[in-house]
């Protein structure tokens, strides 16, 4: 009897201590609520003017977690993975009268786990899925629902193009990135995010025009890598240009900053002694002036590392002051970013064609 008492005390203590070590028992794991699927409806609708097919799935709990993935290999299918759910009284196979969705299959793939397999019409293109949570409507006797709107993914708009750059190679350097946000505006817009957005727009325009491009970075990363010195990071950007076959121009994109929030305008730089760099900076300045509508602070020389160490004609452009509230708003605007990118593309076109 004494042995049994000691053993029971040990088991109680063990159960109490388990959560402290991140271990849960089977009974504890079952504490998550089970979402019983108890409502289904589907019908045609519109999403931003496009034809869509809406699928509403209702359940007795509102905090359901889900993941969406598409399959296109054997057949076009959208799979919605619902955690902590059971199928309830819903049918396993539900036929659909739609030219978007042909059939829905609801499978219990494991304990407390359900998948919706939504078979798309064979001729349907790439699908987009919009998810909306709909609160319970007691008067209509409708539970909490997740609505999945399935529609044709809009085509990417064609990038504008410019003449005169076909066959040329341009190195684009979005300033800062990764551990270095660059300057930060009063509402939190970072220089690194603006320079990357403008650089990506510029890359699309140039490549749509037949040019070749190399980006020193195309995501929010350090070019050299973590824990680099300033010199290592800047040299890594220069190295991208030096390793790019046939590279003809190095263009570094930045936003300006100053302690006085009233400071404003754009400016372009080149390295003293580089006549081709001066010509490039001058043309870019003229095009930014036409397109940006900001105060023109002029064409200037500077000893910036990336333009001083590049073996090709190089220019560094300051698009505007991210520390100026009005200019910060402009720099964060996608249309304004595209306008600046197009101005830079036109400038590069002039650089290659005007001799």
Pair type for strands 35-47 and 101-110: unpaired
d(Cα 194, Cα 9) in Å, to the nearest integer? 62
pLDDT at 43: 96
Average pLDDT over residues 198-208: 97
Question: Which tens digits make up the pLDDT trace of 41-65?
Answer: 999 999 988 999 999 999 988 888 8
pLDDT at 32: 66
- Across the chain, mean pLDDT equals 90
Of the candidate ranges 29-33, 144-148, 236-240, the one whose mean pLDDT is the lowest: 29-33
Average pLDDT over residues 263-274: 98
Q: How confident is the model at residue 175 (pLDDT cuts 50, 70, 90)?
A: very high
**Separation of first and last alpha carbons in the chain:** 102
Residue with the bigger pLDDT between 262 and 10: it is 262
> What is the three-state SS of the chain?
CHHHHHHHHHHHHHHHHHHHHCCCCHHHHCCCCCEEEEEEEEEEEEECCEEEEEEEEEECCCCCCEEEEEECCCCCEEEEEEECEECCCCCCEEECCCCCEEEEEEEEEECCEEEEEEEECCCCCCEEEEEEEECCECCCCECEEEEEEEEECCCCCCCCCCCCCCCCEEEEEECCECCECCCECCCCCEHHHHHHHHHHHHHHHHHHCCCEEEECCCCCCCCCCCCCCHHHHHHHHHHHHHHCCCCCEEEEEEEECCCCCCCCCEEEEECCCCHHHHHHHHHHHHHHHHHHCCCEEEEEECCCHHHHHCCCCEEEEEEEECCCHHHHHHHHCHHHHHHHHHHHHHHHHHHHHCC
Residue 79 pairs in a beta bridge with: 69, 117
Taking CB atoms within 8 Å and a gap of at least 24, the contacts of 105-112 are: 106/37, 112/32, 112/34, 112/83, 112/84, 112/85, 112/86
Q: How confident is the model at residue 14 (pLDDT cuts 50, 70, 90)?
A: very low
pLDDT at 154: 84
**Percent of the chain at pLDDT exceeding 90:** 77
- Strand order, beta sheet including 85-86: 85-86, 35-47, 50-59, 144-152, 127-134
How many of the other CB atoms lie within 10 Å of CB of 161?
18
pLDDT at 31: 57
Residue 9 CA to chain centroid, in angstroms?
54
Entry pTM: 0.63
Question: Which tens digits make up the pLDDT trace of 92-129?
Answer: 999 999 999 999 999 998 888 899 999 999 888 889 99
Dihedral of CA atoms 210, 211, 214, 215 in degrees, nearest 10, equals: -80
Average pLDDT over residues 278-290: 98
Task: Read off the tokens for 23.
Answer: 């271990």
CB 63 within 8 A of CB 33: yes
Task: Read off the tokens for 111.
Answer: 């304990």
Question: Which tens digits make up the pLDDT trace of 299-352?
Answer: 999 999 999 999 999 999 999 999 999 999 999 999 999 999 999 999 999 999
Name the one residue in this structure whose structure tokens are 């220069």: 238
Question: Which tens digits make up the pLDDT trace of 128-142?
Answer: 999 999 999 999 999
Picking from 250, 247, 226, the residue whose alpha carbon sits closest to that of residue 237 is 250
pLDDT at 339: 96
């Amino acid at each position: 009897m004494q042995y049994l008492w000691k053993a029971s005390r040990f088991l109680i203590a063990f159960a109490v201590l388990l959560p402290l070590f991140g271990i849960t028992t089977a009974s504890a794991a079952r504490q998550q609520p089970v979402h019983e699927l108890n409502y289904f409806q589907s019908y045609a609708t519109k999403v931003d003017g496009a034809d869509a097919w809406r699928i509403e799935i209702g359940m007795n709990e509102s905090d359901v977690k889900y993941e969406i993935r598409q399959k296109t290999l054997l057949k076009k299918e959208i799979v919605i993975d619902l955690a902590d759910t059971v199928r309830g009284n819903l049918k396993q196979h539900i036929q659909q009268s739609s030219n978007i969705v042909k059939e829905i299959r609801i499978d219990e793939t494991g304990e407390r786990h359900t998948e919706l397999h939504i078979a798309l019409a064979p001729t349907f293109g790439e699908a987009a899925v919009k998810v909306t949570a709909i609160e319970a409507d007691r008067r209509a006797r409708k539970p909490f629902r997740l609505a999945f709107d399935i529609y044709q993914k809009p085509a990417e708009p064609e990038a504008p193009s410019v003449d005169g750059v076909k066959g040329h190679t341009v190195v684009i350097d979005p300033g800062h990135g990764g551990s270095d946000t660059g300057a930060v505006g009063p509402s939190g817009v970072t220089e690194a995010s603006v320079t990357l957005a403008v650089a990506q727009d510029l890359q699309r325009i140039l490549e749509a025009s037949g040019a070749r491009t190399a980006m020193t970075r195309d995501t929010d990363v350090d070019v050299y890598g973590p824990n680099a010195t300033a010199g290592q990071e800047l040299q890594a950007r220069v190295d991208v240009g030096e390793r790019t076959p046939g590279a003809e121009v190095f263009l570094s994109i930045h936003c300006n900053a100053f302690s006085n929030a009233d400071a404003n305008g754009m400016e372009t730089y080149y390295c003293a002694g580089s006549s081709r760099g001066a010509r490039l900076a001058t043309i870019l300045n003229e095009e930014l002036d036409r397109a940006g509508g900001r105060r023109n602070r002029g064409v200037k020389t500077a000893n910036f590392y990336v333009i001083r160490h590049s073996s090709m004609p190089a220019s560094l452009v300051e698009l505007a002051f991210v520390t100026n509230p009005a200019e910060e708003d402009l720099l964060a605007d996608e249309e304004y970013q595209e306008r600046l990118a197009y101005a830079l593309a036109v400038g590069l076109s002039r650089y290659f064609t005007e001799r």
